Amino acid sequence: MKRKNQIRRVLFLFILFSVCLNAQNEPIALSGVNLWHNGSFTPNRTVLIEKGIIKEIYETGAKKLIDSVKEIDLKGHYIIPGLIDTHVHMGMGNRALPRSPDTARLEFKRWIYSGVTSVRDMGGDARLLAYENRLIFRNENPGPEVYFSSTFGGNDMMDKDIRMKIITQGVEMENAGWTQRATPEMDVKLSVTLAKGSLVSGIKFYAGIDADLIKEITEEAHKQGLKSWGHLTVFPNRPIEVIEAGVDVVSHVWGAFWQDEDVDPTKRIPFTHTNFNNARTAIYPADLSNLNADSPELKMLLDEMVKRNVIWDINYSVYNTKMHDLYRAYAMAASNAGVMLSTGTDYYNDITDPYPTVFKEIEDLVIDGILTTAQVLEAATLNGAKAIGIENTHGTIEKGKIANLVVLRKNPIEDIKSIRAIEFTMKNGNIFYRKDYK
Ligand SMILES: [Zn+2]
C-alpha cells in the first residue's frame, strides 16, 4: 500500500513537472515589431516562437495565427537579440557563489531583467556554476545562461594564488577539471578532457604558460569542442605570441600595452599573485608614459587579431577613471583596425543600481566614439555568442535560433541609452517583464 502511494506521488510530481514544462512552451507571436537584423531595423515583423525556438519570422498580417498562439502586440517596439556579458566572475570573488550565493543570485536576477540572456564566466568553481545554471535552466531562479571556463595556469599561480584554493575546496586540485596546472610535463589530452568533464565551454589561460604550450592545449581544446580563451598578458609571452598560439578570445584593454617595445613582459616572471590586488599591480607596465597607441607593434598585433578573427573582450569601461585616455586610444586603434570586440565587464556596480555594468560598457563604447550604435549592438550580441562558441544558436534573431531577445520601447539606434527602455526580456521563450523586477 505504502509503495502504491509512493508511485502515485511520483506520478503526480511527474505530471506537475510536465505541465510546468508545457506552460512555458505555449506558442507566442510577437507582432508588429521593429526587428533588428544585420545592422538595421525592419518594421512590422511577426516573430513566432514555439518551445523556446524562433519558428518563423514574417511581415505582420502575412499569415493568420492559429488560435492556440498567444499574440503580443508590440507595435512601436524594437527587438534586439539578448545581451551577452563576455566577462563575469560569479564563480570566484567576494560577491560570487563561493562566498555569497545570495548576492550572486541577485546579480543573476538583475541580468535577466535587464536583457542579459547569456554570460561568460572567466574562471571559478565549476561545481557551483553548473548547479546555479541548472536552477536557472529549470526556472527555479531567474537568470541568464551561464557559460564558464577552466582556468589553466603555471606552477607559480597554482601553488600561490589563494583564489585557486578557494575554488577547489574539498578536492585535489589535479582532479578539479576547472583548474589545471599547465606545465611542459602535463598530459594535455587528459587535462582538457577533465576540463570538458567539468562542463566548461572553454579553457582560460591565465598566467605563466609558454606560447608553445598554449598552442598545444588550444589545439586539443578545439579538437574536443572547447574554446580557447586568454589574456593578452599570459606572461612571459608578448601579446602577439598569445594570438599566434591560436586563442579565440583575449580579454582586457590593458593587455595590449605589453606589445609595446618599450616594455618587457619577461620581467613579470614569476607572475606571483597571491591575492587580487597583487595580481592587478603585476599586469600594468611600471611606466605608462612610454606607451604609444600608434606604434607599429600595436598595429601588427591588431592586424594579426583581425586576420585570425580573434575577439577582443576589451573590458573598456572597467577602472577607467585614471586610465581613460590611454584605454580610449587603444580601443580606437582596435576599432580602426577592424578588430571584433565583445562587451565584457569584469566588474560589478552596486546591486541597488537598476542596471548591471554591461550597460556602461555598451554606452561608453558609443559615447567615446569607438563603435557606432549598430556596431555596439553586434558586439553585445553576435560577437558575444561567437566568443562563447554558440553563434549557431544564439546572437541573432533568426528562424531556428533560441528565442533569447530584448523588447525595447525606444529605438537604440537613435540613442544607445534606449537599451534601458526595456519592456521585457525573453530567454528560451520565457518572458521576464521589466516592471516585475524588484
Ligand atoms: Zn576577469
| Same domain for 258 and 166 | yes
Indicate whether 88 belongs to any domain: no
- Centre a 10 Å sphere on the Cβ of residue 267 and count the other Cβ atoms it contains: 10
Instruction: With respect to residue 93, please indicate whether it lies within any of the assigned structural domains.
Output: no
**Do 164 and 252 lie in a common domain?**
yes
Q: Which three cell numbers stand for residue 211?
A: 606560447
Separation of 89 CA from ligand 1 center, angstroms?
A: 6
Residues 178-190, mean pLDDT to the nearest whole number: 97
* Cα 144 to middle of ligand 1, angstroms: 18
Quote the CA–CA distance of 410 and 79 in Å, as a whole number: 10
283's grid cell: 599586469
On whether residue 345 sits in a domain, the answer given is yes
Confidence check: pLDDT of 17 > 60: no
How many whole angstroms separate alpha carbon 63 and alpha carbon 242?
Answer: 52
Return the pLDDT at 33: 98
**Beta pairing class for 116-121 and 78-81:** unpaired
Distance 251 CA to ligand 1 centre (A): 8
**Mean pLDDT lowest for which of 35-49, 83-97, 214-228?**
83-97
Is residue 428, in this structure, part of any structural domain at all? Answer: yes
In the beta sheet, which residues pair with residue 29? 48, 71
Look at residues 355, 371, 387 and tell me which one is the last residue of a structural domain. Answer: 371
Residue 60 pLDDT:
97
Residue 283 clears pLDDT 80, i.e. is over it: no
Q: What is the CATH number of the domain that holds 347?
A: 3.20.20
User: Which tops the pLDDT comparison, 66 or 21?
Assistant: 66
- CA of 234 from ligand 1 middle (Å) equals 13
Count Cα atoms within 13 angstroms, Cβ side, for 163.
28
Distance 215 CA to ligand 1 centre (A): 21
Domain of 351 in residue numbering reads as 148-371
Residues 413-430 have a mean pLDDT of 98
Please tell me whether residues 412 and 333 are part of one structural domain.
no
Kindly give the distance from the C-alpha atom of residue 344 to the centroid of ligand 1, in angstroms, as a whole number.
Answer: 9
- pLDDT value at position 156? 85
Q: How far is CA 210 from the centre of its chain?
A: 26
Q: How far is the CA of 96 from the centre of ligand 1 (A)?
A: 13
Amino acid 16: pLDDT? 46
Least confident window among 230-239, 375-384, 398-407: 230-239
Backbone angles phi, psi at 424, to 5 degrees: -155, 160
Q: What is the CATH number of the domain that holds 42?
A: 2.30.40.10
Domain contains 132: no
Residue 396 lies in a domain: no
pLDDT mean across residues, the chain: 91
Residues 201 and 344 in one domain: yes
* Amino acid 13: pLDDT: 53
Domain count, the chain: 2
